[in-house]
Structures are given as structure tokens and as C-alpha cells.
């Protein structure tokens, strides 16, 4: 049973979600590889820029299969239809909570937030279904390979000592440190 079957109520709906998600990822990949801005992609696909934003953010529910097939055709993406029984090969996906538990240091305070921020920025790969981000096993392996050293360094690096005094005004510093206020003599400036 695939993750899509858990998301959708009925297997046909699950298959539709899977196909739309794969098409969205292929379209996003083409836009990225061509170096297009969202405005340029909107012009090429006959969409508005906000619709391209929805597309690039993986909002599957906002696009029909027909619309995505049309966009893929505009970009020259070749589609292949496999008709018949499923071969039984499914892609294993993981929630951000699962990914955080598998690969991120245990002492991180908000690992899911870190993953989400890097997914949204495009620094790591994954896809969005509704409001939830998912990562394939390949995405997780890529995350580990590309961020192995930086994640360990970020988790183990000690923060520089913070001085409360540094961010205060001169008046507040004097008050805390108990230093006397130096006042220039207006009548005898020296």
C-alpha cells in the first residue's frame, strides 16, 4: 500500500494525487533548469505569476491532471502512460518528523522547522501534499550527503558568549555598571 492510499480515501484518488505530484515535480524541475523567473514561467505556460507560485510550492489540490498535462506538454516533457496492473513499486516517503528523527541531531530544538525552512527555500528536496511536506528516501540521502558536516557543526558549535551590555545604550550601560556620569563643565571646557 502506498502513502497516496493513506492520504486519499479511495485508491483511484490516490493514484490521481500521485500522478499530479509527479507532474508538478517534473514541471518545477524544468522551470528551475531553464533558470526562469516565475514571471517568465507564467508567460510560457499561459498562467498568472501567483498560479506559478502555487505550482512551485507543490499545491497539488489547486491543479487538475488535465492542466498539468497541458503545462508539461508546453515545456516539452514527454509523458508515458502505463496501462494495466501496478508493478507494485512504490516510492517510500517520510514525514518531516520522521526525517528529523532519522538524521538530525537529537539536541536540536526545532528540527522540523529547520527542515521546512530549507524545503521552502529549495536548499533541500521534497514535495508538498496539501499542508504537509514529504521527503523520499532519495531526498533524505541527499540531505545527509549535502548537510552532514554543516549539521554537525551547527549542532556542536558553541555560541559566542553574549554580553547584555553590548546591546545597550551608553546611558543604560552606565546605570548597570554603576559608572559615574561624566559631565563636562560648560563654563570651563577643556
C-alpha cell, 121 = 527555500
pLDDT at 67 over 50: yes
Please name the residues in contact with 11: beta carbons below 8 A apart, sequence gap of 6 or more: 5
Q: What percent of the chain has pLDDT over 70?
A: 68
122: buried, middle or exposed (CB in 10 Å: 19+, 13-18, 0-12)? exposed
As a whole number, mean pLDDT of residues 154-183 equals 59
Element (H, E) at 101: helix 96-103
Confidence check: pLDDT of 5 > 50: no
Better-scored residue on pLDDT, 16 or 167: 16
Local confidence band at 183 (pLDDT 50, 70, 90 cut-offs): low
Mean pLDDT of the chain: 76
* Domains in the chain, CATH or no CATH each: 3-74 (1.10.260.40), 93-156 (no CATH)
The predicted pLDDT at position 1 comes to 45
Residue 189 has pLDDT above 70, yes or no: no
Whole-number Cα distances in Å, 17 to 5, 21, 120, 132, 165: 9, 6, 21, 14, 55
With a cut of 70, say whether residue 78 has pLDDT above it. Answer: yes
Query: CB-based contacts of 27: which residues, under 8 Å, 6+ apart?
Result: 55, 68, 71, 72, 75, 77
Amino acid at each position: 500500500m502506498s502513502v497516496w492510499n493513506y492520504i486519499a480515501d479511495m485508491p483511484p484518488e490516490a493514484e490521481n494525487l500521485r500522478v499530479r505530484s509527479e507532474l508538478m515535480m517534473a514541471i518545477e524541475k524544468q522551470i528551475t533548469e531553464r533558470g526562469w523567473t516565475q514571471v517568465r514561467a507564467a508567460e510560457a505556460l499561459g498562467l498568472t505569476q501567483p498560479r506559478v507560485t502555487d505550482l512551485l510550492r507543490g499545491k497539488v489540490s489547486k491543479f487538475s491532471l488535465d492542466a498539468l498535462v497541458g503545462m508539461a506538454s508546453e515545456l516539452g516533457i514527454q509523458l508515458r502512460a502505463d496501462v494495466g496492473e501496478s508493478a507494485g513499486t512504490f516510492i517510500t516517503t517520510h514525514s518531516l518528523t520522521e526525517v528529523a528523527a532519522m538524521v538530525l541531531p537529537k539536541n536540536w530544538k526545532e528540527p522540523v522547522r529547520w527542515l521546512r525552512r530549507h524545503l521552502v527555500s529549495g536548499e533541500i528536496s521534497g514535495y508538498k501534499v496539501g499542508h504537509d511536506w514529504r521527503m523520499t528516501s532519495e531526498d533524505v540521502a541527499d540531505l545527509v550527503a549535502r548537510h552532514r558536516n554543516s549539521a554537525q557543526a551547527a549542532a556542536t558549535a558553541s555560541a559566542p558568549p553574549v554580553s547584555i551590555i553590548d546591546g545597550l545604550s551608553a546611558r543604560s550601560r552606565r546605570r548597570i555598571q554603576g559608572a559615574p556620569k561624566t559631565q563636562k563643565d560648560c563654563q570651563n571646557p577643556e
